[in-house]
A and B are shown apart, each in its own frame.
Chain A
Amino acid sequence: MRIPALVGASAAVAVLCACGAPQARQDGAVRAGRAFEDALAAGAYGAACELLAPESREQLEEDGKQPCARALPSQDLPRGGGAARVDVHGRQALLRLDGETLFLSQFDDGWRVTAAGCVPEGGDEPYRCVLKGA
């Protein structure tokens, strides 16, 4: 019965490792999203920029032709708050707040915002986002 046990255990591991996201990962994504929103609300654009994913930050600076902290206010991003609904799969997350939807990705030093100011386009289309990477 070694082979059946091995197959069963492997299948169980495959299911477990793929099933949903650990609570810590979800909490991390929510914390980073809220911190980004709090920084925007406080006008702490430097702090908000620190929470952007590198690709998104570079794109913002390239489009705005100025440093992130000066380009960010002109994006006029909506302010999010209230209860958070988060979907985490692997190292990617979708965070829905009241008034704002963010996409985040996990990096070695924590979760970072990859797209902000996102609204659903309907159907299976990608969200339309004010700020995102290339």
Chain B
Amino acid sequence: MTVGRDRGGFWRSNSLTLCFGVAFLVVLGAQAVAGRAEFNEQLAVEGLQQIGFGDYLMSSDFAVDVTENWQSEFLQFFLYIFGTVYLLQRGSPESKPLDRAGTESERDQRMGDHARADSPRWAGTGDWRQALYSRSLGLAMAVFFLLSWLAQSVSGVAAYNELRLRQLQAPVPWRSYLASSDFWNRSLQNWQSELLAVAAMAILSVYLRQRGSPESKPVGATHGATGVEG
């Protein structure tokens, strides 16, 4: 009985990560199916050999389509995490109270000498580990963004060159690809949508409510209440 309760507790207490993780894999698979179909349509038009599902999963065409979205999502979260340290939105649950902009005191952040017995160990070491840990969430997102963007550039130049060869054009080196319209169009079209989503979330959450969601203020909270989560 205890085991059963523990397992039930695990699923329930991790349902947010688990549901989105599974949904991610399902949608990634669906993207691969749709992406392969589109890729093969192009090959068929050009009279070239169409490719199987396994080959498509290992192709640069699939890799660049995946990584261009990954990098923008990690960039969005990095900017949001870092930006909300300093930037405020009156009335938004996504914002801190208006008098708390900045990195806040060690007392407020329960770090350094103010770390508690149950605080993460690196929150109170007072050395580089504390400095690193106190920025670890933003840094992780920044590192994932840079790795994903690098992967986008590498898979992107391969996909771009494959297309160029089909069009009887010479391939370009990676360095030239970084200055290409293909690379920047893929990057910027994702960035603009992420920035729009953040701006929309920040301002819409001032006036609109979602009962029970921590991303929303309580339904009855005033529009001016800032930094209140429901």
Query: Are A105 and B48 within 8 A (Cβ)?
Result: yes
Query: Are A15 and B154 within 8 A (Cβ)?
Result: yes
Q: How far, in Å, is B146 (CB) from chain A's closest CB?
A: 10
Q: Mark A1-20, 1 if CB is under 8 A from B, else 0.
A: 00010011011011101111
**Interface residue tally for chain A (C-beta within 8 Å):** 41
User: A11-B147, A17-B63 given as contacts; is B49 within 8 A of A89 (CB)?
Assistant: no
Which of A105, A106, A127 neighbours the largest number of chain B CB atoms within 10 Å of its CB?
Answer: A105
Within B153-181, the residues touching A (CB, 8 Å) are: 154-159, 161-162, 164-171
User: A55-B48, A105-B48 given as contacts; is B168 within 8 A of A17 (CB)?
Assistant: no
Which stretch of B53-61, B111-119, B203-211 is in the interface?
B53-61
Chain A residues with CB below 8 A from B155, complex form:
14-15, 17-18
Query: Are B47 and A87 within 8 A (Cβ)?
Result: no
Query: Are B67 and A11 within 8 A (Cβ)?
Result: yes
Query: Are B60 and A118 within 8 A (Cβ)?
Result: no
Q: Does B82 contact A (CB under 8 A)?
A: no
Chain B residues with CB below 8 A from A103, complex form:
165, 168
Question: Which one of A4, A93, A114, A134 contacts B140 once the chains associate, using CB atoms below 8 Å?
Answer: A4
Q: How far, in Å, is B21 (CB) from chain A's closest CB?
A: 8
Q: Does A126 contact B (CB under 8 A)?
A: yes
Chain B residues with CB below 8 A from A13, complex form:
63
Expressed in whole angstroms, the Cα–Cα distance for A15 and B156 within the complex equals 10
Query: Are A115 and B162 within 8 A (Cβ)?
Result: no
Query: Are B165 and A7 within 8 A (Cβ)?
Result: no
Q: Does B72 contact A (CB under 8 A)?
A: no
Query: Are A89 and B165 within 8 A (Cβ)?
Result: yes
Q: How many A-B residue pairs have CB under 8 A?
A: 108
With both beta carbons as reference points, the residue of chain B lying nearest to A125 in the complex is identified as: B169
Query: Are A134 and B150 within 8 A (Cβ)?
Result: no
Chain A residues with CB below 8 A from B166, complex form:
92, 105
With both beta carbons as reference points, the residue of chain A lying nearest to B156 in the complex is identified as: A18
Q: Does B225 contact A (CB under 8 A)?
A: no
Which of B147, B158, B162, B168 neighbours the largest number of chain A CB atoms within 10 Å of its CB?
Answer: B168
Chain B residues with CB below 8 A from A7, complex form:
70, 144, 147-148
Query: Are B46 and A18 within 8 A (Cβ)?
Result: no
**Interface residue tally for chain B (C-beta within 8 Å):** 36
Expressed in whole angstroms, the Cα–Cα distance for A32 and B169 within the complex equals 20
Question: Which one of A87, A114, A133 contacts B161 once the chains associate, using CB atoms below 8 Å?
Answer: A87
Question: Which one of A90, A106, A124 contacts B169 once the chains associate, using CB atoms below 8 Å?
Answer: A124
User: A19-B158, A89-B162 given as contacts; is B168 within 8 A of A129 (CB)?
Assistant: yes
Query: Are A127 and B162 within 8 A (Cβ)?
Result: no
Chain B residues with CB below 8 A from A68, complex form:
none
Q: How far, in Å, is A83 (CB) from chain B's closest CB?
A: 18
Chain B residues with CB below 8 A from A94, complex form:
165, 170-171
With both beta carbons as reference points, the residue of chain B lying nearest to A133 in the complex is identified as: B47
With both beta carbons as reference points, the residue of chain A lying nearest to B21 in the complex is identified as: A3
Query: Are B171 and A14 within 8 A (Cβ)?
Result: no
25 contacts between A and B (CB under 8 A): A7-B144, A7-B147, A7-B148, A10-B70, A11-B70, A11-B148, A14-B151, A15-B154, A17-B60, A17-B63, A55-B48, A87-B165, A89-B60, A89-B161, A89-B162, A90-B162, A91-B51, A92-B165, A94-B165, A94-B171, A103-B168, A105-B166, A127-B169, A127-B170, A134-B47
